């Protein structure tokens, strides 16, 4: 079993849900999160801010605040069979790739055990999750 964790843009939630359903993976969890990536700060902009003493109301000011601001995102989590990883990753990538920074990240982790709460029974790898 594998756990797929996909962090995507807020405006890509519906297309991601549709892509997963079309690929045959309608079971997932989606959560609201906030975070930021590793986008570097432009030193020229920082100098301008320090010299002027205030943050400009412009695209440059927006860029400056983005470096410390938490950006709303969504996290999809799926537990799938090992052989389905490629299909799920491709569906998420196809739905979310714009070619720009901030499109998101996908993580694939092993799941060692799973239990059905209603019965207390351990689930086998061949069962649906």
Q: What is the CATH number of the domain that holds 24?
A: 3.30.70.120
Q: Is residue 9 part of a domain?
A: yes
Closest alpha carbon to 97 in 2, 15, 4, 3: 15
pTM: 0.74
Task: Give the range of the structural domain holding residue 82, as residue numbers without chain letter.
Answer: 2-37+74-110
Rg (CA), the chain: 20
- 129 found inside a domain: no
Would you state the pLDDT for residue 100? Answer: 84
pLDDT in tens, the chain (129 residues): 999 999 999 999 999 999 999 999 999 999 999 987 776 655 565 566 556 555 555 655 555 555 566 788 999 999 999 999 999 999 999 999 998 888 899 999 999 999 989 988 888 765 665
Domain count, the chain: 1
- What is the DSSP secondary-structure string of 38-74? -PPPPHHHHHHHHHHSS--SSHHHHHHHHTTSPEEEE
User: 123 lies in a domain?
Assistant: no
């Amino acid at each position: 079993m594998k756990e797929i964790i996909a962090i995507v843009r807020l405006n890509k939630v519906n297309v991601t849900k549709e892509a997963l359903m079309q690929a045959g993976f309608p079971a997932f969890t989606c959560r609201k999160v906030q975070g930021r990536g590793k986008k570097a700060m432009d030193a020229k902009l920082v100098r301008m801010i320090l010299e002027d003493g205030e943050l400009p109301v412009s695209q440059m000011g927006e860029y400056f605040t983005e470096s410390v601001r938490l950006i709303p995102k969504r996290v999809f989590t799926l537990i799938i069979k090992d052989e389905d990883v490629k299909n799920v990753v491709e569906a998420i990538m196809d739905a979310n790739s714009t070619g720009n920074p901030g499109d998101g990240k996908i993580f694939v982790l092993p799941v060692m055990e799973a239990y059905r709460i209603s019965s207390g029974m351990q689930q086998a790898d061949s069962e649906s999750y």
